[in-house]
Structure 1
Amino acid sequence: MDDDWVETGEKVSSGAELREYVSDLRAAVHHMQTGLGRAASGALSGRSWIDTPGEERPNHDGLLREQLDMTATPSGMSAKDAVYRQSLAALLIALDAADRATLTVWLADINAQDPDRLA
């Protein structure tokens, strides 16, 4: 990555700068989540996202539910494939959690400024 999150974070000295930092973080996390989801879909289907017709592209939740996140290993699936898929699911879920956490920070900041303001 070109951006150094640590150095940028070390320079924050105001609430406004923190809000901007969290906003940038949220955008980066969302881009990582989208990119990883598309890459995983391409790797699992053998056809890149860009080469897959729009109606055949899974959405984020569909990719997780149908192809990655498993409570039981499907019959005939190798352990290495199951671990690979479950690892991708865990990473996508972690990125989703980070995205939700940054939204929570934004809402907390709005609430701190004006508890009655509409979100």
Structure 2
Amino acid sequence: MTDTTITIAEDNWVEAGQEVSSPEELREYVAQLRAAVSHMHTGLGRAAFGALNGRSWLDTPGDERLAAAEILGDHLEMTVTPAGTKAKDATFRQSLAALQAALDAVDRATLTVWLAQIAAQDPDRLA
């Protein structure tokens, strides 16, 4: 992976946010945020899959690739540490699961903002 692969440093979220001056602009900003978070969620899931399997997601045959939810459920989510798992491995997996959960929470929050804005305009509108 090269430095040009990740362009997060080029994001202008603060600058874009300070220019918002209407509910419509806020809806657009939140929609852009939600799209970015969705991409991060997918990217982190695929990166976790590669790190845990020793083979990148792209280098894995299509029939062996897992969706982000499957990666989280099958490889990361633990309520009990599997027998024989080293503490460092369990901590690594749990931290990745926590990052995925945080991205999911942001996604849900942006949906709530959108619904609140719609409800404020027309409380009887179908969601």
Interval containing the TM-score (normalised by the shorter chain): over 0.9
Shift of 1:54: 2.2
Give 1:40's aligned amino acid.
A
Equivalent residue pairs, number:
119
- In structure 2, the residue matched to 1:35 is 43
Q: Which of the numbers 44, 47, 62 marks the counterpart of 2:52? A: 44
- In structure 1, the residue matched to 2:5 is none
Sequence identity of aligned pairs in percent?
A: 69
TM-score where L is the length of structure 1 = 0.93
- In structure 2, the residue matched to 1:75 is 83
- The whole-number CA distance in structure 2 between the counterparts of 1:8 and 1:95 is 20
Shift of 1:51: 1.6
Moved more, 29-38 or 49-58: 49-58
Does 2:12 correspond to 1:4? Answer: yes
- In structure 1, the residue matched to 2:29 is 21
| Structure 1, gaps ≥5 residues long | none
TM-score where L is the length of structure 2 = 0.88
| Structure 2, gaps ≥5 residues long | 1-7
Q: Which of the numbers 93, 102, 114 marks the counterpart of 1:85? A: 93
Q: Root-mean-square deviation (CA), in Å?
A: 1.1
